[in-house]
Chains A and B, each alone.
Chain A
Amino acid sequence: MAEVDRRVLYWVMFIALAIPFINPLGLPVPITEMTKAVYDKVESLGPKNIALFSIAGGVSAWPEIAPSMVAVMRHLVKREVKIVVWGFFTDQDITVDMITSNVPELSTKYKYGEDWVYMGYLAGGETAVAALASDVHSVFKADKYGTPTEKLPLIQRVKSAKDVDLVLTVDTGSYITYYIRHWNVGKGTPVAEIGIAMQADQVVFYPANLVGLLIGVRGGAEYEKMIGRLGGGTITMDAINISHLLFIIVIALANIGYVMTRRKK
C-alpha cells in the first residue's frame, strides 16, 4: 500500500463516491435514539410554541448539515411552530436563502414577522449567546432587513431564553456548548443540536443537557425518513457508506502492509 500512488487512491475515492449518486443503492439507514429524541421533541410542539433556529455553520458545511436543516425546518413548519432564526456566520444569509427555497411554506403558509423572523448575523461568539439568553431586545434592535424589533410581533414575544421552547443549534464548532452553558444550564431551555460528524464525540457527553442530536448527513437522512419526505440526506448516505467502506478497506490493507514490512525487516 505504501507504494501506491496517492493519486490513484484519490481517483478511486472520487469514482466510489460518484457511483451511488448515478445508481442509488438504497442502503438501510436505521433510526438512532438521538435523532428520534429531536423528532419527538419537535412533534410535541405546536402553534403556541417558539423554536429558535440558530445558524453557526457556514455554506462550506452544507453537504453535512443542509439535509438536517431542511428536514427539521419542514417538520417545524408542519407543526406550525413559530420560528426565530439568527446566526453567527457571515455567510448565513445564503444558508437562510437555501432553507427558504427548500421550505416554500415559509413564504406561503407562514407570515413573516408573526410566524417566523430572521434576525440576521451577530458577532461575539459565547458573549453574544449569553447576552441573548438574558435579553434578546438589548442585543437585536432590528431584524436582518432593518425592521425595528418593535414592529415584529414574534420577536416581541421573545424577550429572553425563557420564552423559547426549543433551541435548534446548527453547529460546526462550539456553539452547542455555549447554548448548553447559557440557555440550558442558565435558563432551563431545551437545546438540540444539528451538527457535523466530528462533533458527535464531543456532544454526546452532555446527556443531561441535550434533547438530542442530528449527526451529519446520517442525522439528516434519519430525520427525512421520520418525517416521511426523503431528500438530500438519503441520496448522499449511499455515497457516504461506500466511502466509509473504502476507507476501512484502505486502512486495513495499509496496516497489513505495515505489519508485513516490519516482519521482513
Chain B
Amino acid sequence: MPYPTDPLILSGVWASVILTLMVYSYVLYKETPVFRFAEHTYISASLAISVVVAYQTLSSNAFLPISQGDMTYLIPIVLGLLLYTLPFREVRWVSRYPLAFIVGVGTGIAIRGSVHAQMVNQVLAAITLPKAPQPIDWFNFLFSLVAFLTSTSYFIFTREHTGVLKIPTQLGRYMIMLALGSYFGNTILFRMSMLSGRVEEILKVFGIIPWR
C-alpha cells in the first residue's frame, strides 16, 4: 500500500502520531498541558462517536418500529429517559425504577447459563482424564486437579485452616498467586502489543518503514 497522499487521510495519520507523542510525554515529564490536551481530545472524540452511534441505534432499533406502529418500544425509551432524573435531588428516586429493572434483568440472565458453563463444565474438565495422553498431558492434568482442589479449599471459611486443611489451603494460596501472576503477566504483554502498534505507526508515518 503506498504512502497516503489524500490531504484528509494525511492529516488524520499525522494527528494520530502527534497525539500519541503527546500521550507518551506523560512517561517522560509527568502530567503537562500537552498530555492533558491529548487526554481531553481522546475523551471528547470518544464521547462524540458514542452519542452519534447511540442516536443511530435508537433510530433503527426503536424509532423505526415505533414509526411502523409498534408502540411497545416506548416502554424502554421512557425507562431510559427516567435515568436522566439522577442529577435532580428531589426526583432522583424515579431513576431507581429503571436501574432496578436493569440490575434485575441482568442478574437473572447472567445466572441462567452460569451454573452449567462456569461450575458443572469446569468441574467436569478438571476431573476428566486426558485423551491419548503424553507425559506432559498427565502432568498438566494432575497439576490442574491439585490446583483446582487446593485453591477451592482456600475458600472454606467455615473451618479454621489448621489440621487437615492446613497444607491444602496453603498450597491453594500459592496456586491462586500463580494464577494471578500469570494473569498480571499477560496484562503486561497485552500493553506491549498496544505499544508496538503505536511504534509501528510512528515508524510508518515518518517513512522509516514502508506503509502497509
Contact = CB atoms under 8 A, between A and B. Distances in A.
Interface of A: 6-7, 10, 13-14, 17-18, 21-22, 60-64, 90-91, 93, 120-123, 125-127, 130, 139-144, 146, 148, 177, 180-182, 184-186, 196-202, 205-209, 216-217, 232, 235-236, 239-240, 243-244, 247
A205 B50 CA distance: 33
B129 to A, nearest CB: 13
Contact of B190 (A62, A64, A123, A186): A64
20 contacts: A7-B27, A7-B28, A14-B199, A63-B196, A139-B61, A141-B64, A177-B117, A177-B118, A180-B113, A180-B117, A182-B112, A184-B117, A186-B113, A198-B190, A206-B121, A207-B125, A209-B121, A236-B193, A236-B200, A243-B195
Nearest to A89: B53
Please name the 9 residue pairs, one residue from A and one from B, whose CB atoms are nearest each other, closest first: A63-B197, A181-B113, A208-B121, A90-B53, A142-B60, A64-B193, A198-B187, A197-B190, A185-B113
Most buried by A among B54, B183, B189: B189
Given A21-B203, A122-B57, A141-B60, A197 B196 contact: no
Given A63-B198, A198-B187, 18 more contacts: A18-B208, A62-B197, A64-B194, A91-B53, A120-B60, A121-B53, A126-B106, A139-B61, A146-B64, A180-B117, A181-B110, A181-B113, A186-B112, A197-B186, A197-B190, A198-B186, A205-B122, A217-B193
Contacts of A205: 122, 125
Could you tell me the dominant secondary structure of chain A's interface residues? Answer: helix
A218 B121 CA distance: 27
Given A185-B117, A208-B124, A209-B117, A196 B196 contact: no
Given A141-B64, A209-B117, A197 B193 contact: yes
Given A142-B60, A201-B186, A181 B114 contact: yes
B199 A216 contact: no
Could you tell me the dominant secondary structure of chain B's interface residues? Answer: helix
Given A122-B57, A186-B112, A207-B125, A201 B182 contact: yes
A177 to B, nearest CB: 7
B41 interface: no
B36 interface: no
A7 B181 CA distance: 25
B99 interface: no
Given A21-B199, A21-B200, A182-B113, A216 B193 contact: yes
B55 to A, nearest CB: 11
A90 B54 contact: yes
A127 B113 CA distance: 12
Interface string B176-212: 0001001100111110111111111001000011001
B109 interface: yes
A91 B46 contact: yes
Nearest to A130: B109
B78 interface: no
Most buried by A among B54, B60, B110, B112: B60
A17 B196 contact: yes
Given A18-B199, A216-B189, A236-B193, A130 B61 contact: no
B56 interface: yes
B49 interface: yes
Contact of A247 (B105, B118, B188, B198): B188
Given A63-B197, A180-B113, A244 B57 contact: no
B116 A185 contact: yes
B65 interface: yes
B124 A146 contact: no
Contacts of B197: 62-64, 236
Contacts of B109: 126-127, 130, 182
A121 B189 contact: no
B108 to A, nearest CB: 9
Nearest to A10: B27
Interface string B23-42: 00001100000000000000
Nearest to A20: B196
Contacts of B113: 180-182, 185-186
Interface in B91-115: 105-106, 109-110, 112-114
B117 A146 contact: no
